[in-house]
């Protein structure tokens, strides 16, 4: 397993390099000059030229690439054209927000999705199953931004239970340890801050979890149905095993295999693809950072963030593969 992991990480290096080459060329092919976009409406030709020089955009592309990769090898992701700040530092500031939201949404999705999936398979075609399937259908089809606004109106404006948006009340500022606010609050003993952070994360996490949980429930139901009709389950029941044990130990473990893949992919997707939710809830995460960067063609930021996304994608698919081995000992992990 160790060998497998090492090999997979080694293989990911050329893949990352390829991603880098593609994104590096893509951003430069996309119409729109960062110097023009950054200077805005009022810029004169001379100002644009000066800024292009300052940003090294006047150099030939291969030279820009060499400089960029040299920087990368020295652990330097470059400087944001928009903010003049080191990109590594900006990423470190935003990644925890996104990870925290993604983890929380995953948790919520699994807590809702797995029981729903199991129960609607077990009580197939009952009213519960119908309701659960309706929920799943609505969950995957409702547009996230619409659902978000409805939740904001109900829980923030009408009921006043939860805040409209943000990660924390602006007057609450706990000490930062990890950047994960709930965890930070707990670690520093600032329970009010932890509670405040929890109140802020519920709505955006619920929006993300609706789609995510519905997907998990649908897949799990389908897999459970398949597994439950297989021979070994009949054998297990014939042996007189308790139904709970048959369901949770024998059936679920096998039915979960494809679902784990879904979870891994969805989790990685949440990291970069939650732009709408992050925007509606003023969540200072990676999706919005990327979006703002694309708007002004902030090349180094787009490149840096893409690299981070690609790395996380690879890590999460590696984790999924490793988890396969845990779930099903028959799967041997050899490179």
Which is nearer to another protein, 257 or 294 (by Cβ)?
Answer: 294
Phi, psi of 42 (to 5 degrees): -85, 5
The angle formed by the CA atoms of residues 113, 119 and 125, to the nearest 5 degrees, is 115
For another protein, the closer of residues 290 and 314 by Cβ is 290
Positive or negative torsion for Cα 302, 305, 309, 310 = positive
Distance CA 326, CA 256 (A): 12
Residue 209's nearest CA partner among 278, 67, 113 is 113
Min separation Cβ 335 and another protein, Å: 40
Position 302 contacts another protein (CB under 8 A)? no
**Among 1-9, 64-72, 156-164, 231-239, which window interacts with another protein (CB under 8 A)?**
156-164
- The C-alpha atoms of residue 119 and residue 106 are separated, in whole angstroms, by 19
Rounded CA Rg of the chain: 24
Stretch that binds another protein, among 15-23, 136-144, 160-168, 308-316 (CB under 8 A): 160-168
Distance of closest approach, residue 308 Cβ to another protein, in angstroms: 15
- Between 279 and 317, name the residue whose CB sits nearer to another protein: 279
Are 263 and 110 contacting, i.e. CB atoms less than 8 angstroms apart?
yes
Contact map string, positions 201 to 240, toward another protein, x by CB under 8 A:
-x--------------------------------------
HSE (CB half, 13 Å, CA atoms) of 172? 19
245 binds another protein (CB under 8 A): no
Instruction: Pick one of 36, 103, 142, 319: the residue that binds another protein (CB under 8 A).
Output: 36
Determine if 33 is a binding residue for another protein (CB under 8 A). Answer: yes
Number of residues interacting with another protein: please give it, by CB under 8 A.
67
Residue 62 CB, nearest approach to another protein (Å)? 23
Q: Report if residue 60 touches another protein, rule: CB under 8 A.
A: no
Q: Are 207 and 277 in contact (CB under 8 A)?
A: yes
Cβ distance to another protein smaller for residue 123 or 232: 123
- Contact status: 37 vs another protein (CB under 8 A): yes
Q: Does 125 bind another protein (CB under 8 A)?
A: no
Compute the least distance from the CB of residue 49 to another protein, in Å: 8
Does 281 bind another protein (CB under 8 A)? Our answer is yes
Say how many C-beta atoms besides its own lie within 10 A of residue 155's C-beta: 18
Two structure tokens written together for 206: 């619920």
**Binder to another protein among 12, 19, 20, 34 (CB under 8 A)?**
34
- Binding site residues, another protein, CB under 8 A: 31-34, 36-48, 50-51, 54, 82-85, 90, 93-94, 112, 115, 119, 123, 126-128, 149, 152-153, 155-157, 160-167, 170-171, 173, 195, 198-199, 202, 279-282, 284-285, 288-289, 292, 295-297
């Amino acid at each position: 397993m160790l060998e497998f992991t090492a090999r997979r990480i080694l293989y990911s290096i050329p893949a990352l390099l390829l991603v880098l080459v593609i994104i590096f060329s893509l951003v430069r092919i996309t119409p729109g000059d960062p110097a023009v976009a950054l200077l805005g409406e009022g810029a004169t030709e001379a100002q644009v030229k000066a800024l292009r020089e300052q940003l090294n955009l006047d150099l030939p592309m291969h030279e820009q690439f060499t400089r960029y990769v040299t920087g990368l090898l020295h652990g330097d992701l470059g400087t944001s054209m928009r903010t003049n700040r080191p990109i590594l530092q900006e990423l470190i500031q935003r990644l925890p927000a996104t990870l925290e939201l993604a983890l929380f949404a995953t948790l919520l999705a699994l807590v809702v999705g797995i029981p729903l999936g199991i129960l609607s398979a077990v009580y197939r075609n009952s009213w519960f199953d119908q309701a659960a399937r309706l929920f799943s259908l609505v969950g995957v089809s409702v547009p996230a931004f619409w659902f978000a606004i409805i939740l904001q109106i109900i829980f923030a404006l009408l009921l006043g239970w939860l805040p409209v948006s943000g990660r924390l009340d602006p007057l609450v500022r706990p000490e930062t340890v990890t950047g994960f606010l709930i965890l930070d609050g707990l670690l520093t003993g600032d329970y009010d801050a932890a509670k405040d952070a929890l109140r802020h994360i519920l709505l955006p996490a619920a929006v993300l979890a609706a789609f995510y949980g519905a997907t998990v429930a649908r897949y799990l139901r389908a897999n459970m149905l398949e597994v439950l009709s297989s021979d070994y389950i009949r054998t297990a029941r014939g042996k007189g095993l308790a139904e709970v044990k048959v369901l949770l130990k024998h059936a679920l473990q096998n039915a979960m295999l494809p679902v784990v893949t879904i979870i891994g992919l969805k989790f990685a997707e949440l990291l970069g693809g939650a732009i709408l939710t992050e925007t509606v809830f003023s969540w200072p995460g990676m999706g919005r950072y990327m979006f703002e960067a694309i708007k002004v063609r902030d090349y180094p930021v787009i490149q840096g963030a893409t690299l981070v996304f690609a790395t996380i994608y690879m890590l999460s698919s590696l984790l999924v593969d490793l988890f396969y081995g845990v779930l099903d000992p028959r799967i041997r992990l050899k490179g």
